[in-house]
Amino acid sequence: MGEIAEAKAGARGARGAREPLRRDRILRTAVAIADEGGVEAISMRRIARRLGVVPMALYKHVENKDDLLNGMIDVVVGEIDPAIEGADWKTAVRERILSARRTLLRHPWAARVLESRTEPTPAIIAYFDSMMGIFLAGGFSVDLMHHALHVMGSRILGFSQELFDDASSAPDEEAIAMWSEMAERYPNIAALIRELAAGQISHEQATAVGGACDTQVEFEFALDLILDGLERLLASSRDGSDVARPSASKEARTTADPDDASASPAPI
Amino acid sequence: MGEIAEAKAGARGARGAREPLRRDRILRTAVAIADEGGVEAISMRRIARRLGVVPMALYKHVENKDDLLNGMIDVVVGEIDPAIEGADWKTAVRERILSARRTLLRHPWAARVLESRTEPTPAIIAYFDSMMGIFLAGGFSVDLMHHALHVMGSRILGFSQELFDDASSAPDEEAIAMWSEMAERYPNIAALIRELAAGQISHEQATAVGGACDTQVEFEFALDLILDGLERLLASSRDGSDVARPSASKEARTTADPDDASASPAPI
DNA sequence: TCCTAGGGTGTACGTCGTACACTCGTCAAC
DNA sequence: GTTGACGAGTGTACGACGTACACCCTAGGA
């Protein structure tokens, strides 16, 4: 959003009062490098080389590599579209999250870097605050909004925990054969693979059922299931009969280890 | 599950036909090191030192560091309790996931290592297969079961994407003051912090609403919301009127970039 | 007795992040 | 015009890291 022009202007105007935009240049080339080569391509030395500068020069603008990664995340999160105005909370949340997903798909390394962060960056804080605002404006109590954030988890930032990206969405013959061999050890996985292959052959109806494993469809399916659940809770909280929460949670916590407290991290 | 005894027996029986259990010893001490010092404590050199051996010795039993990490994950995932027999699908899934969570809380590094894996390990494959079996036995179609796995996401392995673990669950005075200062920039976060603090003062009612941010409660809340949603879909799929899916997903995909295909990874 | 193979060793390379001391330009104050 | 401070880029160096490669040593079979 105009940051490029800004950075250029800063570098150009060698006579300007000052040119503090060097950090931006570093972050932007770091993002570019990551876009090309993935997470493991991000190294201080490579960024410096790309900038035609000695590695230690970066440290005049960036505290350390962690700070650099935080800055990169801020660049990416800053690309998420702002919330749309005037929509009901559900579509506002939905569209915002889908925008976040689009952004993260443009920067496939970002999800992994995000996971490795240990504290939120300014852009993320702003993003969460605005997301909370959507919920509150939609009639959520602070408590229910808090739960909603936890329920969304990483999906709120546009990605689900997609483990094992090698399980290609369209199983090829080799995969089918392999899993068929293991069918007696892993019968259910084999069944799934069979079904995926069948759906694929029958001409890829993107309607979830029978179709091949389409991550966009799956993402939206999960998102909508969760939004529907929240909508129901919101409605029941307005009836006000009892505090809104899903069924099984009405009992007290069931299985927590008493010694967990220190081990469990807490998100926002 | 008897692996200790097995490993011991292997090391003991210096006269046995062979003692191929060296890999186990390596994995177990690696897990111990990670339990003590976190992810960044895991290095080939440190593991070797702990074993009183030169670093390169490890490579006779482990392909490389990635293989080592996979092995460590298998050790951890192997600690998850097997599914309980004879229960309905919902409680079976619920209990299994809570067991996974307990396991992951015992090994706080494991979630982060899991996230970094690029392909599933044998123990994870077995875990997923058995989880799929629960769903299918509960009456899920293969398709709905597939959606269910996606909906669960990382929760199925016992952790939610808990970003930013420094936001301590009980905000102290300093945090409250800090966020109050930023209240006009981040009004909604400030509201949440206030509410959390208030709940905390009013004597920690663990009943979600009004209580401090308790990650166990939040985890179960999200889990139950999702399980409730799946239950509803299962019921509606049995009525058979239409294919079961959440509301908004009934329209075709809305916002996917046409060029996404290669960028989006696909989980099982 | 020798051969072989498997497990442990030693050395070495390239990469990484970054501490520390330096140079060099620009500019304000005198 | 000289000086001195300061911000930005440099150079060198250190201690990690993962791991390739060649070596040894020992036990067991021929």
Question: According to DSSP H, which parts of A182-261 are helical?
Answer: 187-201, 215-239
**Residue at A7 is within a domain:** yes
What pLDDT, in 10s, does the model give residues A107-123? Answer: 999 999 999 998 899 99
Best mutation target among A140, A161, A250 (most B Cβ atoms within 10 Å) is A161
The first and second tokens of residue B18, run together, are 């062979």
Tokens 């982060």 belong to B112
Question: Is B96 found in the same domain as B135?
Answer: yes
**Residue at A44 is within a domain:** yes
Count of CA atoms in the C-beta half-sphere (13 A) of B180 = 10
Strand ranges (E), chain B: none
How large is the C-alpha radius of gyration of chain B? 23
Question: Is B224 found in the same domain as B155?
Answer: yes
Question: Is B108 found in the same domain as B158?
Answer: yes
- B106-to-B36, B65, B80, B92 alpha-carbon distances in Å: 11, 22, 11, 21
Q: Considering only A202-211, B56-65, B145-154, B247-256, which range has the smallest mean pLDDT?
A: A202-211
**Residue at A211 is within a domain:** no
For B136, nearest residue in chain A (alpha carbons): A188
Question: Is B114 found in the same domain as B21?
Answer: no
**C1’ C3 / CA B17, Å:** 21
Are B176 and B194 within 8 A, CB to CB?
A: yes
**Residue at A197 is within a domain:** no
pLDDT for the residue numbered B267: 41
**Residue at A48 is within a domain:** yes
Are B175 and B168 within 8 A, CB to CB?
A: yes
Question: Is B219 found in the same domain as B159?
Answer: yes
Question: Is B236 found in the same domain as B153?
Answer: yes
Q: Please work out, in degrees rounded to the nearest 5, the angle formed at the alpha carbon of residue B105 by the alpha carbons of A218 and B75.
A: 85
Question: Is B144 found in the same domain as B105?
Answer: yes
**Residue at A18 is within a domain:** yes
Query: B2 to chain A nearest CA, in Å?
Result: 22
Q: Which residues on chain B are in Cβ contact (under 8 Å) with A146?
A: 192, 195-196, 213
Question: Is B112 found in the same domain as B29?
Answer: no
What pLDDT, in 10s, does the model give residues B76-109? Answer: 999 999 999 999 999 999 999 999 999 999 999 9
Backbone angles phi, psi at B252, to 5 degrees: -65, 170
Question: Is B139 found in the same domain as B50?
Answer: no
Residue B133 at interface with chain A, using a CB cutoff of 8 Å: yes
Best mutation target among B169, B209, B226 (most A Cβ atoms within 10 Å) is B209
For A183, nearest residue in chain B (alpha carbons): B129
For A39, nearest residue in chain B (alpha carbons): B116
- Please give the tally of structural domains in chain A: 1
Domain-terminating residue out of B62, B77, B100: B62
For residue B57, the domain's CATH number is 1.10.10.60
Residue range of the domain that includes B113: 89-163+215-241
**Residue at B256 is within a domain:** no
Residue B195 at interface with chain A, using a CB cutoff of 8 Å: yes
Q: What is the DSSP string of A147-159?
A: HHHHHHGGGGGT-
Contacts of A124 (CB under 8 A, 6+ apart): A73, A74, A77, A157, B163, B164
Considering only the beta carbons, identify the residue of B126, B150, B213 that sits closest to A222.
B150
Higher pLDDT, B170 or B216: B216
- Which bases on strand C have an atom closer than 7 Å to a protein beta carbon? 6-11, 15-21, 27
pLDDT for the residue numbered B165: 54
Are A203 and A213 within 8 A, CB to CB?
A: no
Residue A17 at interface with chain B, using a CB cutoff of 8 Å: no
User: Above 90 in pLDDT, residue A210?
Assistant: no
